[in-house]
Structure 1
Amino acid sequence: MAEFRQVAGWEYAEERRLVISTSRFGVGQAEDTNKTPLGLHRIAEKFGDGLPAGAVFESREVVGTVAEKPKAGIAHRILWLEGLEPGFNQGGNVDTHARYVYIHGVGDESTLGQPASRGCIHLAATDLLPFHDRTPTGTLLWI
């Protein structure tokens, strides 16, 4: 469902396919639906630079580790998305950024590969850490 294509700085010459999870409620743009938004996005903000793998976040602040909170909903790193299509995924009640839609890790990775999130895109820590480190803010992606 999501394509991550890096324009500059990505060390991999070939296209990579990553196992992800998207919303268990399906896809859609509207706020309060917990659906994964579609369309053109960019990485607006990143959180977790310099932190060890296993950091657990609440409201983008570190509150512990996966060892302490194995069922953590947001872990390792956060890439906060911004929709770039006015009226579709930007502005009003369809604004991806205002909906707090992230690419992030989770404490329990057993649901990767199946719909499991509440709108965000989940990645395994082994994929998320290099993706976060090598992907600059402003990078475009299509969901």
Structure 2
Amino acid sequence: MSRSLDICIANQQLTLRDHDRVLKSYSVSTAKNGPGQLKGSECTPTGRHRIRAKIGAGAPINSVFIARRLTGEIYTPQLSAAQPQRDWILSRILWLGGLESGHNRYREVDTTWRYIYIHGCPDQLMQGVPASHGCIRMHNADVIELFDNVEAGCPVFIHE
């Protein structure tokens, strides 16, 4: 598979490509704090990445993850109301790894150890504006569809 992902922070769009052909575009939500590399910044890292791991295959839509593990919970508005401060990671996780030494890989800028993912979130939070804590959020049905159409190792380019 020669697929790749292009994530445009300015447009809040993720584009799935096969070579130069656009297969599908999705609305995303990147970091409320904008682009940036530093650990603890809650910014979305830019540059060349790859999908390091795919997590959650076969899990029900709206399944809840903590630390890349299924909790057994299914997200509902009632669960959200009971835990309003929780940063919901739902349905699937595509864990990213940076490829550019000193920019998004190693030391205080390492995308992998910042735990930057493409993941599902409560669909009502997807307003087409930056709102995450650094990750790339997607509608749940969209992240499941994307998950099923990419492999670990897939190139990901994140830019402004």
| 1:62 equivalent in structure 2 | 70
| 2:36 equivalent in structure 1 | 28
More strand by share: 2
What is the CA–CA distance in structure 1 between the aligned matches of 2:126 and 2:62, rounded to whole Å? 17
What is the CA–CA distance in structure 1 between the aligned matches of 2:144 and 2:79, rounded to whole Å? 19
2:128 is the alignment partner of 1:119: no
Deviation at 1:52, TM superposition (A): 1.1
| Counterpart amino acid of residue 81 in structure 1 | L
Q: Matched residue of 2:133: which SS?
A: coil
Matches within 5 A, 1:1-143: 1=8, 3-7=14-18, 14-63=22-71, 64-67=73-76, 69-70=79-80, 73-143=88-158
What is the CA–CA distance in structure 2 between the aligned matches of 1:122 and 1:114, rounded to whole Å? 10
What is the CA–CA distance in structure 1 between the aligned matches of 2:138 and 2:127, rounded to whole Å? 7
Structure 2: gaps (5+ residues): 1-7
Deviation at 1:108, TM superposition (A): 4.2
| Counterpart amino acid of residue 66 in structure 1 | Y
| Counterpart amino acid of residue 49 in structure 1 | A
CA RMSD of aligned residues (A): 1.9
What is the CA–CA distance in structure 1 between the aligned matches of 2:124 and 2:117, rounded to whole Å? 16
Percent pairwise identity: 36
| Counterpart amino acid of residue 47 in structure 1 | I
Structure 1: gaps (5+ residues): none
Q: 1:107/1:128 Cα in 2 relative to 1: closer, same or farther (>3 Å)? A: same
